[in-house]
Structure 1
Amino acid sequence: MEMLQKVLTPIRVGEVVLSNRMVMGAMHTRLETLDRPNERLAAFYAVRAKGEVGLILSGGFSPNPEGVMEEGGPLFNSPSQLEEHRVVTRAVHEANGKIILQILHAGRYAKVPECVAPSPGKARINTFSPREMSVEDIERTVSDFVRTAALAIEAGYDGVEIMGSEGYLLNEFTAERTNHRVDGYGGDCEGRIKFPLEVIRAVRECIGKRAILIYRISSIDLVEGGATGNEVAEFASKVEAAGADVINTGIGWHESAVPTIAATVPRAVWREAIRNVKSAVSIPVMASNRINTPQIAEELIASGVADLVSMARPLLADPDFAKKTRLGITDEINTCIACNQACLDRIFTERTATCLVNPRAGREIEFPDGRSTEPKRIAVVGGGPAGMSFAINAAERGHEITLYEADPELGGQLNLAKAVPGKAEFHEMLRYFRTRIDRLGVNVQLGVRASAEQIAAAAFDEVVVATGVRPRIPDLAGADHPKAVSYIDVLTRKVQIGQRVAIIGAGGIGFDVAEYLLGESRESLEATEFFRAWGVDPTNVKAGGLTALSEHTKAKRKVWMFQRKNEPLGKRLGKSTGWILKAKLRTAGVAMIPGAVYEAIDDSGLHYSVEGEKHLLEVDHVVLCAGQNSNRDLFERLTELGLSPLIIGGADVASELDALRAIEQATRLAVSL
C-alpha cells in the first residue's frame, strides 16, 4: 500500500478545517438541462463527497442574466431558487462533504445577445459582440455578485468561489487585451484590478468570516495583452488583503492558442505560474490543470508550489479518488486520461458531460448499486475496452466471469492508442482495467482464441461477444501491394516505414498515425519541450506568458493525408483537442488533400485524382486508415449453434474505434444483468 502524507493532511481554510488537500474543481456539466436535474446534481456531488474529497466546487452560476454561459445557462439570483440548491447541499453534507458555489460571470464569452465586457470587442469564440459596461453597470454587477453569494450561504453552501480566470468578465478587466477603459476601472494595473477587488470586498462583507471565500485568479493568461507575472503577483497580494481565504489558480483563456488541459499538455506543467502566486501571499493557494494522480498532488504540496490541489476531470473519472488515496490503493484509481471526449467535447457541442473511463459520471441515478440477486457464470470473449469494462462491472455485481483474449495481453486496440505521441495516459487506463480485473478475481484466459464450440460446451449462463473490429480494406487496385499497409502494422511496428508516406483516411485514426509517423515527441511528457513547441514563457515575464515560437524539430518523415470528402481534414475531430492536433501537423508540414479519388497503389506510389485531374504521389508506403468492419464471426457462429449471445463494442458497431461508446454500452449491459 502506498501512503501519501501531505495530500492527506487537514488544512484550515479561513475558519473551516478541510479533512485533506484534495479539491474537486468546478466544471460545467449541463446536468441542469436534463430530466430530474436537482436529483442528478445532488447524486453527482454526493457520490464524490462520499469519496472523501476535501472540498467540492460547484459548476459556475451567473449572478445576472447577461453573464450566463448560454441561453438558459446556470443562473442563481432569486430566493425562489433556494430549495433546488438545498437539495444539493443537503446531499453533500449528509455525505460528510463540503461544497462551495462558484459565481461565474462569463462577460464577453456569454453566448447571449446582451453580453457585456469592460470594453467593446467580440471574442473570437463568440458570435455576439459585447456592450461596454458603464460605471453604473459595474456597480450593479458588484451588487449582483453579493446577492448570489448571500443566496448561496442561505442555500447551505459552505462558501463561494469568485471566478476571475479563463478570460471571463473579471479576468477581462485585469488584462490590457480586453480593458481599454480610461476611467478608474482601466489604465494601469491598479485600475484594471479595481472591479474584481470591489467584488471580493463586498462579498466578504456579505458572507462574514465563517463562510469560505475563494478567488480564482488567472495565474498565466496565455494571450497577447495578458498580465505579466509581476502583475499577477501584485494582484494576488491585494486579493488576500481584500478578504479571500484561498486563491485558486486558473490557467489560460478559452481563446488562447496554447493548450492547457488536453493530454498533449504534460502533467503539472504550470507549476511556476502557480508558484508565483504562492510566493506573493500567505493564505492557501490551490493548484490546478493536468493534475491527475495523487502522487503529483503530493509532490506539488510537498515542494511548496501549492497548499491544495484542484482536480475536476479526475473526480469525473473516479469519485473515490481521495478515499482510495487514503486507503493506499492508488493503483485502483480510475485515472483521467485527459481525452476530453465525453466531458469538454460534449459541453462545447451543447451536450451533457460524462466520462469516457467512467460512464456513470453525471448519470449516477441511472446505475443501480449493489450486487446482483442472481449471480451468473458469464463468458466474455475479447479483452479490449468493451470486454474489460463489462468484466469489471459484472464482477463487481457478483457474477463469475471468464474473459478470453486471443492476444498475449489485455487491452485490444488501446494498446495501439498508447503508442501515439500525446496518448501516454492510455497506459494509466490499461493499468486500472488490468488491476481491477485481477483484484476482482476474473478468470482471464490470455492467448486463447475461444471457439464457438468451446464456449457452447462450457454451458455459460450468458455469453458476451466483444471481439472488436478489423481494419477495412478499401476497394482499390493495389490494396494488397507491399507498399499498402494497415494502421495496425504501423502502430505495432510490424513494418519498417519509409521516409515518404501517404495516409488514406483522415478520421481520428488517420491523424493519430500521422502524428506517430512524424517521429518521437516528448512534448506531452517534458515541460521544456512543451513550452518550446507552443511559445510559452513559464516565468511569465512578458505579458500573457507568451514568447516567440522556437524553431521546430524537423519531422522524421514527409507525410501526405488524403480523404474522399471535399471538406477540411479533421473537421470531425474533438472540439477541444482537434485544433491542437491539426496545428501540430501543419507545423510539421503535413500535406492535407480533400476530395481525393483513389485509383491505384503500385510500385510508383499512390495514383489519385482531385476534381478529375490525375496525380501520382511517389511514396514508400500507403497507410490504409479507411475505417473498420465489425468482427462478428464468433457472434454469428454462436447464433448458428442455437445460443443467444450478447454483443458489445466494435463487434456491435464499428466506428472510429469508439471507446466512449464501447465502455458505456458494456457498463450498462453489465449492470442490467
Structure 2
Amino acid sequence: MQKYKRLFEPVKIGSLELKNRFAMAPMGPLGLADAEGGFNQRGIDYYTARARGGTGLIITGVTFVDNEVEEHGMPNCPCSTHNPVHFIRTSREMTERIHAYNSKIFLQLSGGFGRVTIPTNLGEYPPVAPSPIQHRWLDKTCRELTKEEIRSIVKKFGEGAFHAKRAGFDGVQIHAVHEGYLLDQFAISFFNQRTDEYGGSLENRLRFAREVVEEIKERCGKDFPVALRYSPKSFIKDWREGALPGEVFEEKGRDIPEGIEAAKLLVAYGYDALDIDVGSYDAWWWSHPPMYQEKGLYIPYAKIIKEVVDVPILCAGRMDNPDLALSAVEEGACDIVSMGRPLLADPDYVNKLRSGNIASIRPCLSCQEGCMGRIQEYSAINCAVNPATSREREAALIPALKSKKVLIVGGGVAGCEAARVLALRGHKPVIYEKSGRLGGNLLAAGVPDFKEDDLALVAWYEHTLKELDVEIKFNTEVTPALVKENGADTVIIATGSKPKLFNLGDNSKVFTAAEVLLGNADAGSEVVVVGGGLVGCELALWLARKNKKVTIVEILDRLLALNGPLCHANSEMLERLIPYNGIEVLTSSKVIKTTEKGVLVDVNGKEREIKADSIVLAVGYNSVNDLYEALKYELADIHLIGDARNVANIMYAVWDAYEVAANL
C-alpha cells in the first residue's frame, strides 16, 4: 500500500539487511520446546507462520543459556546449550523455512530472571540475584551470584550464540537490560548492592552486559548481529510498587539521564541494535501494556535513545495502528516497528497491510488472556482471538467432506467465530440474531475508550462475514419451532448471557452496567457500582474519568477476586487505577436496599447510607440456554457454546466456537 511504503523499505542491523521495517517482538517460546531443549513442531510452525505473513525479522521469545546457576526446569523453553546437536537440528528446520520467505530470525538469549522468576517456572530452585534482595513475587531473599557464576553465564552466552549461528539464526537478541531481568538487576543500583567489579559505578554495573556482547563477538565474529532489549526507564516507586502514567514519583530504578548514558555505553561495547521499551516487573503494566495504556507508549522513549546512539532502534508497545507506526518511523523515533501480540492475533498482519487489506487484520485486544496470562499460569502461549496461535498445525482448518446447513443462534463473538470457521471450511452457516447488530456483550464492553479494540473485533467480524458471504438474519427471535422448521443439519446455540439482577426495593434508579455503557440509562453524577470484578472496575474507571463520583461495593475482601487468570499487568494496573482516579472501594460489603438519597450498604457489619443518583449492577452474568434445553433431546446434532455454555470471557467464547466449528 503506497501510503505505508516507508514501512516496507529495507533496513539494516549491522551488515544484515531486513526486507521491511517490521519485527516480531519476542513472544514465547514457552510450550514450544521439546524434551531436549530443541524447538518442537509447534514452535517451528508458530514462528514460520509469522514469517509467511510478511514479517521482516522474527525474534524468538526467551531461551536460557544457563540451566545450572539458575535452573529453569527443562524443557520449559528451547535451550541452545543443553543439547547443542539436537538444538541445531531442530532449529535448522525452522530457520530454513523462515528464510524461504526472505525473513530473518534472531534467537533471544537470556542470562536468567533473577529476582523476577515467575513462581510457576521456579520449581524448587532458589532464586538468584546480584545481591541478597527481595524476590518480586515470593517472600524470599534471593541468593547473591558469585563472580565465578557470572563468568560461567557469560561463557554460556558465547556458546549459545555460536550454536544459534550454526543453526541458521541471523543474529541474537540479548535478554536483557530491560524489565528488571537478571542483567538489568546488575545494571540498576537499586537492585545491585555489590562492592566488587560488578557493582558501584554505572560502568561496573554494566560490566556483565559488556562481557556478554564481547564474548559473543569473540565466538561468532564482529559481523554477527547482537541486539539488546533495553529499558531506559524503570517506573519503580519502591519494592513491588510501580508508577502509573502521569503519576509524580521518585524513580528508584533507572531514570532517563542514566538511561541515556547507559545506552551510549552499551552501543560502545558492541551492541548492534537496541530494542526499546520501559518498565520493570515492579511496574509490569509498562513492560506488558494492557488496554489501559496508550497505544505507542514507548515511542517517546525510543526517540530519546534514537537521538543519542547511531544503531537501529526497534520500538514495540501497542504499535498495531499502522498510522502510528508510520509516524514513529517518519519522525525518527525508531527504525523498526516491533509487534508481539498483534502478530499472535493475526500472523498475516504485515502482508495484509502491504496489500491494502487493512479491514481484514484481526485486532489484538491487549487483554493478555491468551498470551501473558497463560504464560504466567500455565507456561503456555496462545491468543484469545486466534485459537490457532502456537498450534498452527493441529488447528489448521480442513475443508468439510460434506457441506452442511448450519443454523447459528446468536450473533455475539461465539456465533460470529463459529460462522467464520464454518464458512471457511465450506459449510453454509446462517446466523440468527435477535437484535439489529452483531457483537453481543462486546457492544457494551467496547464503549470505554480504553476498550476500543473490542469494537474493532466486532467490526472485523462484520467485515469478515460479509467477505465470506455469510447470511445473517437480524431482529429475529428464534423459537424451538423455527429451529425444527428450518431443517438445518446442525444447530449451534450461542445465545450468550445476560446480567444478573436482584431486587433492592425501589429499583427505579438501579441499572445494569450494559444499560449505562450503551447510554440507555443516565447514571447521574454520583454512582454506586455493585460488584468489583472486571466489569465493575472497568465501568467505575470509565465513569470516574467522566468526572462522576464513584463508589464500588464488593462483597468479597478484594477487587477482581473472581476473575482469572488475569495477567498481573492487567489486574495490578487496574487495581491501582481505581484509587488513583478517586474511586472509593468498599470491600467485604453488600448493598441492602435503595433509599431516597441513594443506597444502604452493610460495610463490615455496619450500615452506611451512600448518596447516589444510580446504583449500577455489575455482579456477573447468567447463561442464556433456554433454547438449548428445549431442543437438546429433539436434535441429533446440536451444540452449546460460549457464555451460553459457561460464562467466561471473550477468549473462551472464541475458542469454544473454533473447536466446534473446526470439527463439524
Match of 2:116 in 1: 109
User: 1: CA distance between counterparts of 2:591 and 2:583?
Assistant: 19
Counterpart contact for 1:483–1:602, Cα < 8 Å: no
Counterpart contact for 2:274–2:311, Cα < 8 Å: yes
User: 2: CA distance between counterparts of 1:77 and 1:458?
Assistant: 58
Q: Does 1:136 align with 2:136?
A: no
Match of 1:530 in 2: none
Please point out which of 41, 44, 47 is paired with 1:45: 47
Match of 2:164 in 1: 152
Which secondary structure does the structure 2 equivalent of 1:424 belong to? helix
- Could you list the per-position Cα deviations for residues 534-571 of structure 1 after superposition, in whole angstroms to 9, with x for gaps in the alignment? xxxxxxxxxxxxxxxxxxxxx422323222x3x22223
Match of 1:23 in 2: 23
Matches within 5 A, 1:43-82: 43-65=45-67, 68=70, 70-72=72-74, 73-74=76-77, 76=79, 78=81, 80-82=83-85
Counterpart contact for 2:284–2:569, Cα < 8 Å: no
Match of 2:593 in 1: 600
Counterpart contact for 2:39–2:91, Cα < 8 Å: no
Matches within 5 A, 1:138-537: 138-164=150-176, 165-223=178-236, 224-256=251-283, 259-260=286-287, 261-474=289-502, 476-478=503-505, 481-520=507-546
> Comparing 635-644 with 301-310, which one deviates more in the overlay?
635-644
> Once the 2 structures are TM-superposed, how far is the Cα of residue 89 of structure 1 from its aligned partner?
3.9
> Once the 2 structures are TM-superposed, how far is the Cα of residue 102 of structure 1 from its aligned partner?
0.7
Match of 1:557 in 2: 549
> Comparing 251-260 with 410-419, which one deviates more in the overlay?
251-260
Counterpart contact for 1:519–1:557, Cα < 8 Å: no
- Could you list the per-position Cα deviations for residues 193-221 of structure 1 after superposition, in whole angstroms to 9, with x for gaps in the alignment? 22211211111121124533212222322
Q: 1:238 to 1:616 in 2, by over 3 A?
A: closer
Which secondary structure does the structure 2 equivalent of 1:560 belong to? strand
- Could you list the per-position Cα deviations for residues 3-45 of structure 1 after superposition, in whole angstroms to 9, with x for gaps in the alignment? 5211111222223221211111112342147899712111211
Number of residue-to-residue matches in the alignment = 633
Q: 1:66 to 1:426 in 2, by over 3 A?
A: farther
User: 1: CA distance between counterparts of 2:545 and 2:261?
Assistant: 43
> Once the 2 structures are TM-superposed, how far is the Cα of residue 393 of structure 1 from its aligned partner?
1.2
Counterpart contact for 2:50–2:343, Cα < 8 Å: yes
User: 2: CA distance between counterparts of 1:331 and 1:67?
Assistant: 48
User: 1: CA distance between counterparts of 2:104 and 2:126?
Assistant: 34
Which secondary structure does the structure 1 equivalent of 2:378 belong to? coil
User: 2: CA distance between counterparts of 1:481 and 1:333?
Assistant: 43
Q: 1:178 to 1:612 in 2, by over 3 A?
A: closer
- Could you list the per-position Cα deviations for residues 386-434 of structure 1 after superposition, in whole angstroms to 9, with x for gaps in the alignment? 0111111111112222222222221111111111242122232122211
Which secondary structure does the structure 1 equivalent of 2:83 belong to? helix
Counterpart contact for 2:42–2:390, Cα < 8 Å: yes
Please point out which of 132, 136, 155 is paired with 1:120: 132
Q: TM-score, normalised by structure 1?
A: 0.88
Q: 1:347 to 1:68 in 2, by over 3 A?
A: farther
| Greater RCO structure (CA 8 Å; 6+ sep) | 1
Counterpart contact for 1:301–1:307, Cα < 8 Å: yes
User: 1: CA distance between counterparts of 2:155 and 2:381?
Assistant: 31
> Once the 2 structures are TM-superposed, how far is the Cα of residue 152 of structure 1 from its aligned partner?
1.7
Structure 1 vs Structure 2: percent identity of aligned residues?
28
Matches within 5 A, 1:633-672: 633-639=626-632, 642=635, 644-655=637-648, 658-672=649-663
> Once the 2 structures are TM-superposed, how far is the Cα of residue 125 of structure 1 from its aligned partner?
2.9
> Once the 2 structures are TM-superposed, how far is the Cα of residue 308 of structure 1 from its aligned partner?
0.7
Counterpart contact for 1:67–1:104, Cα < 8 Å: no
Q: 1:79 to 1:644 in 2, by over 3 A?
A: closer
Counterpart contact for 1:403–1:443, Cα < 8 Å: yes
> Comparing 184-193 with 601-610, which one deviates more in the overlay?
601-610
Counterpart contact for 2:95–2:168, Cα < 8 Å: no
Q: 1:558 to 1:610 in 2, by over 3 A?
A: closer
Match of 1:98 in 2: 104
Q: 1:459 to 1:501 in 2, by over 3 A?
A: same
Q: 1:455 to 1:326 in 2, by over 3 A?
A: same
User: 2: CA distance between counterparts of 1:85 and 1:343?
Assistant: 27
Q: 1:13 to 1:49 in 2, by over 3 A?
A: same
User: 2: CA distance between counterparts of 1:343 and 1:265?
Assistant: 17
Q: Does 1:5 align with 2:31?
A: no
> Once the 2 structures are TM-superposed, how far is the Cα of residue 258 of structure 1 from its aligned partner?
5.7
Which secondary structure does the structure 2 equivalent of 1:366 belong to? coil
Q: 1:196 to 1:465 in 2, by over 3 A?
A: same
User: 2: CA distance between counterparts of 1:229 and 1:66?
Assistant: 34
User: 1: CA distance between counterparts of 2:414 and 2:88?
Assistant: 37
Which secondary structure does the structure 2 equivalent of 1:310 belong to? strand
> Once the 2 structures are TM-superposed, how far is the Cα of residue 170 of structure 1 from its aligned partner?
1.6
Q: Which amino acid aligns with 1:406?
A: K
Counterpart contact for 2:39–2:90, Cα < 8 Å: no
> Comparing 256-265 with 621-630, which one deviates more in the overlay?
256-265
User: 1: CA distance between counterparts of 2:30 and 2:140?
Assistant: 21
Q: 1:84 to 1:39 in 2, by over 3 A?
A: farther
Q: 1:29 to 1:665 in 2, by over 3 A?
A: farther
User: 1: CA distance between counterparts of 2:82 and 2:131?
Assistant: 32
Which secondary structure does the structure 1 equivalent of 2:275 belong to? strand
Counterpart contact for 1:468–1:651, Cα < 8 Å: yes
Match of 1:623 in 2: 616
Which secondary structure does the structure 1 equivalent of 2:231 belong to? strand
Give 5+ residue unaligned stretches, structure 1: 521-554
User: 1: CA distance between counterparts of 2:523 and 2:71?
Assistant: 47
- Could you list the per-position Cα deviations for residues 241-294 of structure 1 after superposition, in whole angstroms to 9, with x for gaps in the alignment? 333322211321111276341111111122121012211222211112121233
What do you get for the CA RMSD once the two structures are aligned? 2.5
Counterpart contact for 1:259–1:580, Cα < 8 Å: no
User: 2: CA distance between counterparts of 1:28 and 1:333?
Assistant: 21
Q: TM-score, normalised by structure 2?
A: 0.89
Q: Which amino acid aligns with 1:44?
A: Y
Match of 1:547 in 2: none
> Once the 2 structures are TM-superposed, how far is the Cα of residue 70 of structure 1 from its aligned partner?
4.7
Q: 1:51 to 1:292 in 2, by over 3 A?
A: same
Which secondary structure does the structure 1 equivalent of 2:168 belong to? coil
Which secondary structure does the structure 1 equivalent of 2:40 belong to? helix
Counterpart contact for 1:334–1:432, Cα < 8 Å: yes
- Could you list the per-position Cα deviations for residues 483-515 of structure 1 after superposition, in whole angstroms to 9, with x for gaps in the alignment? 222222111121111333222222222212222
> Once the 2 structures are TM-superposed, how far is the Cα of residue 312 of structure 1 from its aligned partner?
1.0
User: 2: CA distance between counterparts of 1:151 and 1:445?
Assistant: 58
Which secondary structure does the structure 2 equivalent of 1:266 belong to? coil
- Could you list the per-position Cα deviations for residues 37-90 of structure 1 after superposition, in whole angstroms to 9, with x for gaps in the alignment? 712111211221211211111111222126658544436363624324532441
Counterpart contact for 1:15–1:209, Cα < 8 Å: no
Q: Which amino acid aligns with 1:318?
A: D
Q: 1:135 to 1:477 in 2, by over 3 A?
A: closer
